[in-house]
Amino acid sequence: MKQTKWWVWLLAASLGVLVFWHVGVNVLSREALYPYENAKIWFDRTVWVRVRAVITRARTATRAAMLERDVARLRMAVGEVEELEAEVARLRELLDFSPPIACRWQAAPVLSRGGTSAVWQSVRLGKGSRHGVRKGDPVVVPDGIVGRVAEVSPHTCDVMLITDPNSRVACELETPGEGVGVVRGILYGGGSRPAAAPALTLLYVVEPLRLRYLSRDFEPPPRMRVVTSGLGTTYPKGLTVGYLLESKLNPDGLAREASVIPAVDMVALDEVFILTRQGGRHAR
């Protein structure tokens, strides 16, 4: 019996020593680490804060110097642009050129494709006469021209795409360094004119556009860019229309005709831009 009590007391004493040792080690370890942790906090709150402030001020000063140089360059560029504008104004006055038409670009969402009856090549946009849109306004995206406004209501408008067989666009070939002068033609929409009772035509079925009345003496290479010529009152000059596929002489041999692939994917149209003109004539 006495031996059993002895083992019980020995086990209790061992457990007490272990508990005391565990608590003591934790306390001692915390106390040993305290000076280092306190020093780190002091360093972060006093020294490192000041160092970071100095580094930030140096970066800010460098950035400010770079911005000042950029501002100086922009001021010089603005001065050059003002001189060029004044020179252009003088030349327009001497040559009796009419001033450019004031206009602005405004984004418009594509509401539907194919118009109300889903026939031929058209899209309906969510901007109308209350937004300043008028019949004949050109419609574009960054890739190139889409078409022109054909019908307008207060809040919507219908756009005739350049792929419509009834579409006509005055174009020219981009021929830098060719030395042959300006090569102009009229771009016709693909397909044929609608019959009295036209069948439904899917928007994504697009035949190549036809660029007619080109000079017979110049055979353009494939993939040449076709841009608007600026003739007429609808499209400004220099907008991308498409890229030339091939060309051939007409049967009469008087002019050349080319196939053109549109630069804009009409299927992917989601949002377009309408060139709203502030005055001037419009195509009807």
Contact assessment for residue 133 and residue 127, using Cβ atoms and an 8 Å cutoff: yes
Q: Is 275 helix (H, G, I), strand (E, B) or coil?
A: strand
* Residues 64 and 149 occupy one common structural domain: no
Over 50: is that where the pLDDT of 8 sits? Answer: yes
* Residues 44 and 152 occupy one common structural domain: no
Phi and psi based region of residue 254 (left: phi greater than 0; alpha: psi -120 to 50; beta: remaining): alpha
* Residues 154 and 215 occupy one common structural domain: yes
* Residues 157 and 238 occupy one common structural domain: yes
DSSP class of 83? H
* Residues 2 and 25 occupy one common structural domain: yes
Alpha-carbon dihedral 116, 121, 124, 130, rounded to 10 degrees:
-110
Straight-line distance from the first to the last Cα atom of the chain, in angstroms, rounded to the nearest whole number: 120
The angle at the Cα of 237, spanning 232 to 239, to the nearest 5 degrees, equals: 120
Residue 195 vs residue 32, higher pLDDT: 32
State whether the Cα torsion 234-240-243-246 is positive or negative. positive
| Pair of tokens at residue 240 | 């991308």
CATH number for the domain that contains residue 256:
2.40.10.350
AA identity, residue 77? A
Residue 283 lies in a domain: no
Residue 151 lies in a domain: yes
For 85, the domain range is 1-99
> Total structural domains in the chain?
2
Q: What are 106's strand-pairing partners?
A: 274
Residue after which a domain boundary falls, among 99, 129, 161:
99
* Residues 85 and 109 occupy one common structural domain: no
Residue 113 lies in a domain: yes
* Residues 109 and 33 occupy one common structural domain: no
Over 60: is that where the pLDDT of 22 sits? Answer: no
Q: What percent of the chain has pLDDT over 70?
A: 73
Residue 284 lies in a domain: no
On average, the pLDDT of the chain sits at 78
* Residues 144 and 76 occupy one common structural domain: no
| pLDDT tens track for 88-107 | 878 877 776 655 556 788 99
Over 90: is that where the pLDDT of 15 sits? Answer: no
Residue 31 lies in a domain: yes
* Residues 10 and 114 occupy one common structural domain: no
Residue 282 lies in a domain: no
| pLDDT tens track for 30-63 | 666 667 777 778 878 787 888 888 888 888 888 8
* Residues 148 and 221 occupy one common structural domain: yes
Range 198-217 average pLDDT: 68
DSSP class of 97? P
pLDDT at 271: 93
Residue after which a domain boundary falls, among 99, 122, 153:
99
Residue after which a domain boundary falls, among 99, 115, 142:
99
Residue 182 lies in a domain: yes
* Residues 28 and 67 occupy one common structural domain: yes
pLDDT confidence tier of residue 175, bands split at 50, 70 and 90: confident
* Residues 72 and 44 occupy one common structural domain: yes
Residue 244 lies in a domain: yes
Over 90: is that where the pLDDT of 28 sits? Answer: no
